[in-house]
Amino acid sequence: MSDLTHFDAKGDAHMVDVSDKDVTSRTATARGSVIMAADTLTLITEGRAKKGDVLAVARLAGIMAAKKTPDIIPLCHPLALSKVSVELTPNPAENSVEIEATVKVTGKTGVEMEALTAVSAAALTVYDMVKAVDKAMRLTEIRLVHKDGGRSGVYQAD
């Protein structure tokens, strides 16, 4: 593992200085899922949730969260994101909603945290919108699956 860049020589946390980094195109994709009871997934897919269209609201929550990442993750740089996409796919075989977020920027730092935040917020929103009927839902497997750009190049999860 490389040296952690969010700590100075004294061990104090700080925001990384990216002023000497090159501006490059950067992309990150994260995924996760919400596992639920079969009846809960049916409620979502049939559009019968009392709070409204779960998948549409969760998509918007994910997009909004990506844009607000530096407001909730203390050492993240504010970025002018060029793209945020959040897809929510019902998976009846697993009784889940699969979530994938892709974030793009042309800048001096990556967008991994923005993609992970988008997935997390979308998953939390799914939970919030149907928790009245299924408090046992599980938010799982939230992880970075791809990133490209910057000094470290390409990362692709197994």
Average pLDDT over residues 114-134: 98
- State the burial class of residue 135 (Cβ atoms within 10 Å of its Cβ: 0-12, 13-18, 19+): exposed
Q: Is the pTM of this model over 0.85?
A: yes
CA distance linking residue 8 with residue 57, whole number of Å: 40
Identify whether 158 is a catalytic site residue: no
**Catalytic entry in 3, 20, 128, 158:** 128
Average pLDDT over residues 55-78: 96
| Sign of the torsion angle spanned by Cα atoms 74, 76, 82, 86 | negative
**What are the start-end ranges of the H helices in 19-138?**
38-45, 54-67, 69-72, 112-130
pLDDT of amino acid 2: 46
pLDDT digits 0-9 by tens, 4-61: 577 777 777 777 878 888 899 999 999 999 999 999 999 999 999 999 999 999 999 9
